[in-house]
Structure 1
């Protein structure tokens, strides 16, 4: 077997020079490794990776395996730097040193929260000072806040957002209330953790407006968790104005798992950030620390040049993909609610490439457990993969919609995926199914 050996010891790639548009048959081949029996309308959880990117990843893996020392000394650092520079351009950062490549958004949260914890331990922050976060923050991030901040003596203020959401004003109003609660009795809010797109339920948050409110109220630092954002919606970190921003490259930007970036705005105060895994690069800046955390597979973090070449084959590039994904998921969501007589969980303009779709109340979704069991039932009996969200009814609600499905649209999806989901739910309704039957 001949192993790849570029003449100069580095991987050379073309970026966005392809002019031939991808054909339907080529698109099907790119995702032919997907299970063809499953209507996979859940890109939001794990993303997807085209065959050409998998092949590119394997080339990087072989470069390491055939000569690890050469890869470590001559290839890895310049390749990671190339990824950082591409991300810098995509998110409009000022300098590549503001961009670190990490495994995922959860790792990025650990970097920021670890720094916050040391601020408590060094008495820069005082016991009782607060961290503000959304009630719908991602579960792992909420637990990270507890693990770092609560144990260091900080308090956590949760912003309880309404759902279904009727407008951005609903979110802004509740956030303002939480800011005032956080500042009560002279307490200081040291960090705000704000999702750009909440995971479950899924809503696009008006982050720029919330960042401005935080600045006006004297919040020290602002961390935007955009785990679902890059490749899904536009990101301009300078326009948003937060101190930190993270997003996964493997959810909506076609990279293999796992790869993400953490943006940290240049600041003397924030210069003492460290990766939670301490390795040989400790003390050389977060970007360098993140680029080497010990022997592992870094290949998922190196394929961004090939990803950008892949997306350039679509009409309008990544911007065209994002627009078509949004338009189609809204169209499919409206088709589903019209069939079931339900409602969307958020206005179309607040849906990214995902949408929350109300399920018929007669399905009897009465708990998180019911939602999980119904999801399993749809997967095993109808070959539909879609997350289900349980919404606790409000007081005095009559026959409320207590279950919502989060549907996604990515380039590999076809309209039959959503028809299968529609027909599966209609069949359950016709058969008099309720989630209580699954308990038996």
Structure 2
């Protein structure tokens, strides 16, 4: 499978989760759209692009199960959350309830917002190791009080690789009249996603991670009830348009000045690739490798798994707790000496070696990592 990708064959790539990896056929589609743009930029942007974007939205909406009128493309979830953040009408003392497992860029986004608005961002602790889904839910709701107005939660944590019980939390939040914002950066193409069934108010996810699309392709879903309340992050020709399109929501947000839309137009190719190559089965193989090897890596590093080793909590990633005072040196050593690309994640004062696999990975890749770690343990003090 690795031959289908553009990855350097000399590198053992155990970090699909950070930025994904794009297969050659999808990348060729991406370059095709870039060339089409350059052949006749005016006709492409003014005439062809609106039609092509509509087709891409329909393909995406069918894949994530939502109305194509409720979703639009943007470069990354950070842009999505910034868009939502700037339109929230919160007062001083109002609270946004999150977990302490959120992505660092999101924590920074909410910190910025709270300094401007006087609202408070609550990082509710989730105990490690996780014992059960019920424990996660109960601990999360300990952060709720009368000031809580918004729930913000990642569905799959970047640092700990844990799958969160977002459906149950969204259901209760709806009963309490709270706004629900879900960061699903790691979800589409990784674990099952049905936005209509999950029923959040806002949902953002990437295509360039587990859906294998080119870099800079993500989406924001906004429930119809909230679409008129969300201001465009960039005001451009779609605002009070002279030629209104199918919806004001899409006019305001989809076209934000001249930019390369080729990654968005590659959505159909990415979805076809996943189907033609039976990616659900390929993903299942990667998940089995994670479930099979997680405990062994923890044993090697003399730590314990941070959750039950089951598909309820783990997908194609796992985070191994490590003891290190030199995380950057450890990561650089693994890359420079052993040619292994793998991140060392930091969260709440703890460090994790995060393995994320896709179909181009084999058991031999994990064996190489284990041998490297064994040598590092015996020859250095980086894992003491």
TM-score range, shorter chain: over 0.9
TM-score by length of 2: 0.92
In the alignment, is the contact (CA less than 8 A) between 1:345 and 1:355 conserved in 2? no
With over 3 angstroms needed to count, the CA separation of the structure-2 counterparts of 1:49 and 1:358, relative to structure 1, is: same
Q: Give the distance between the partners of 1:43 and 1:286, measured in 2 at CA.
A: 33
Q: CA-to-partner distance for each residue in 1:12-50, whole Å, 9 max, x for gaps? A: xxxxxxxxxxxxxxx33311x311221110000010100
Rg larger in structure: 1
Q: Which residue of 2 aligns with 1:242?
A: 200
Q: Give the distance between the partners of 1:406 and 1:286, measured in 2 at CA.
A: 38
Indicate whether 1:140 and 2:105 are aligned: yes
SS at structure 2 position matched to 1:199: coil
SS at structure 1 position matched to 2:365: helix
Q: Give the distance between the partners of 2:375 and 2:305, measured in 1 at CA.
A: 21
In the alignment, is the contact (CA less than 8 A) between 2:377 and 2:383 conserved in 1? no
Q: Which residue of 2 aligns with 1:309?
A: 272
In the alignment, is the contact (CA less than 8 A) between 2:216 and 2:263 conserved in 1? yes
With over 3 angstroms needed to count, the CA separation of the structure-2 counterparts of 1:156 and 1:339, relative to structure 1, is: closer
Indicate whether 1:212 and 2:171 are aligned: yes
Deviation at 1:150, TM superposition (A): 3.1
SS at structure 2 position matched to 1:275: coil
Deviation at 1:230, TM superposition (A): 0.2
With over 3 angstroms needed to count, the CA separation of the structure-2 counterparts of 1:272 and 1:217, relative to structure 1, is: closer
> 1:261 aligned to 201, 211, 219, which one?
219
Listed as ranges, the gaps of 5+ residues in structure 1 are: 1-26, 121-125, 394-401
Q: CA-to-partner distance for each residue in 1:294-335, whole Å, 9 max, x for gaps? A: 112110011111112211222xx3432332222222223244
With over 3 angstroms needed to count, the CA separation of the structure-2 counterparts of 1:307 and 1:436, relative to structure 1, is: closer
Query: Is 52-61 or 76-85 further displaced after alignment?
Result: 76-85
> 2:259 aligned to 296, 313, 325, which one?
296
TM-score by length of 1: 0.81
Indicate whether 1:43 and 2:16 are aligned: yes
> 1:325 aligned to 282, 286, 299, which one?
286
Listed as ranges, the gaps of 5+ residues in structure 2 are: 241-246
Moved over 4 A (4+): 338-341, 390-393
Deviation at 1:390, TM superposition (A): 4.4
In the alignment, is the contact (CA less than 8 A) between 1:176 and 1:213 conserved in 2? no
Indicate whether 1:222 and 2:183 are aligned: no
Q: CA-to-partner distance for each residue in 1:172-224, whole Å, 9 max, x for gaps? A: 121110013xx2xxx3x2211110001102200000111122223332x1000
> 2:362 aligned to 378, 402, 414, which one?
414
SS at structure 1 position matched to 2:28: helix
Query: Is 77-86 or 285-294 further displaced after alignment?
Result: 285-294
Q: Which residue of 1 aligns with 2:243?
A: none
Q: Which residue of 2 aligns with 1:174?
A: 139
Deviation at 1:412, TM superposition (A): 1.1
SS at structure 2 position matched to 1:321: helix
In the alignment, is the contact (CA less than 8 A) between 1:179 and 1:217 conserved in 2? no
> 1:202 aligned to 161, 167, 176, which one?
161
